[in-house]
A and B are shown apart, each in its own frame.
Chain A
Amino acid sequence: MEVLIEKLKRQVIEQLNLVEVKPEDINPDSPLFGEGLGLDSIDALELIVLLEKHYGIKIEDPKDGKTIFQSLTTLAEYIKANGKS
């Protein structure tokens, strides 16, 4: 699980161009949206692409994203439960 979270940190930083953020700065339980990392609605769409591209998971309804993308931890748990790779 920790390996996945570290991998996710790097993938999120790269996919979302969070250039000034270091993996060690991200608290996996902090909210991804609003405060915490402060991602916005376009980032949410990009995370959907990330899930498909790297983990083969397709999210049909972006509204599901709200729970899945709450934090890196919830995202990692979702991938563990649904991922193909």
Chain B
Amino acid sequence: MVFASHNNIISGLGFSTEENYQAVLNSKLAVKKTTLPFSKEEFCLATIDQTLLNNRFSNIDDPKHFTKLEQLSILSINEVITNSGINPSDEKTVLIYSTTKGNIDLLEKEKTSNIDKKRAYLFEFANVLKSHFNFKNNPIVLSNACISGILAIIIAKRFIEKGTYNHVIVCGGDIISEFTLSGFKSFNALSNEACRPFDKARVGINLGEAVSSILITNHKSLSKPYETQIISGFSANDANHISGPSRTGDGLLQCLNQLNITSTNHIGFISAHGTATVFNDEMESVAIERAHLTDIPVNSLKGYYGHTLGAAGVLETILSLESLKNQTLISSAGFKNKGVTGKISVIEQFEKKSFQSFIKTAAGFGGCNAAAFFSKI
């Protein structure tokens, strides 16, 4: 069995999983209208306050020598290692880091700092984490667009089942940069208001920054936080278009079918990718319907956090685990009126419910899709 264990979320809603979960229960949103130093325009984004971060990070090391993403990642992974007691130097322990752009802000010429620009290379970034924690194994960096987070968890499970590792810390993170913001803007994919997954009035995403870490392990003693195992997980490609999803949700359907769900009875919810673009949410609803999973209520957490790219799959899985542990369905923030053709039902209020399991889905640029199934032991 492979278990989901200790974890951490750092986001605009707090520096711990507990803080984040409580904030979500109180319908707090990390997304806010923000003006950034490089643009006169106002965007709706979820940022993490650098001053707060520097203060926290100073307890560990000098913030001047680390990028924002490095500071966040070190803080987050540190929580997981401390709480679980695992030894990073153990040869059957590894870090899998999920990110789309890493330290991409280092490409900005105007930025003057003591930080070596070579850390724009993802493996150099990973080496900073390796050195800090004294990991024996080189971290594995996974850069597979927005499915990276959940895919990293699936890959962790596969490596553990194969016997290559016993413990895998999966850490996912991305920061907001002019690079990413301008790019999504050129795609006309941004919303100026808080985003509205699955809603009729949805117009696009909000970008969010976050880092989240979770320990995936085969040690039963570490299963205590959630008593939950990862049953299965798969990825697939639409083979259709490099930036738009398949209109018929082919790739995601292939993933959902492979989960081989025979009964939807005890499945509490589907934690959807739900980015709030016109195309993604429509595609997901179609895939869920074609997979005969419409009985299972759906939510998206991106109304709270925005799209956190490399962190999304990890962050959203962790909150889904909290949801399962607390037997509480999380309301899908930003949703009022259904605006997708697939016959899904979106969770509109927080609700106590008795359930055993949940499904997590994701999709990303490059036509990639992923789905995973988590269940109480």
Contact = CB atoms under 8 A, between A and B. Distances in A.
Question: CB–CB under 8 A between A and B in the complex?
Answer: yes
The winner among B186, B188, B241, B244 for most chain A CB atoms within 10 A is: B188
Interface string A41-85: 110010001000000000000100000000000000000000000
B188 A42 contact: no
Contact of A45 (B186, B241, B242): B186
A40 B241 CA distance: 9
A41 B186 contact: no
A45 B242 CA distance: 14
Contacts of B243: 41-42
Interface residues of B, number: 7
A53 to B, nearest CB: 12
Interface in B178-192: 186-188
Contacts of A62: 188
A11 to B, nearest CB: 18
Nearest to B279: A41
A42 B186 CA distance: 10
A21 B188 CA distance: 28
DSSP class of B's interface residues: helix, strand, loop or mixed? Answer: loop
Contact of A49 (B186, B241, B244): B186
A41 B241 CA distance: 10
A62 B189 CA distance: 11
A59 to B, nearest CB: 10
Contacts of A42: 242-243
A42 B241 CA distance: 10
A49 B204 CA distance: 19
A62 B278 CA distance: 13
Interface string B227-265: 000000000000001111000000000000000000000
Nearest to B189: A45
A41 B188 CA distance: 11
A63 B186 CA distance: 14
B243 to A, nearest CB: 6
Contacts of A41: 241, 243-244
Interface of A: 40-42, 45, 49, 62
9 contacts: A40-B241, A41-B241, A41-B244, A42-B242, A42-B243, A45-B186, A45-B187, A49-B186, A62-B188
Q: Which 7 A-B residue pairings sit nearest by Cβ, starting from the closest? A: A62-B188, A42-B243, A41-B244, A45-B187, A45-B186, A45-B188, A40-B241
Given A41-B241, A42-B242, 6 more contacts: A40-B241, A41-B243, A41-B244, A45-B187, A49-B186, A62-B188
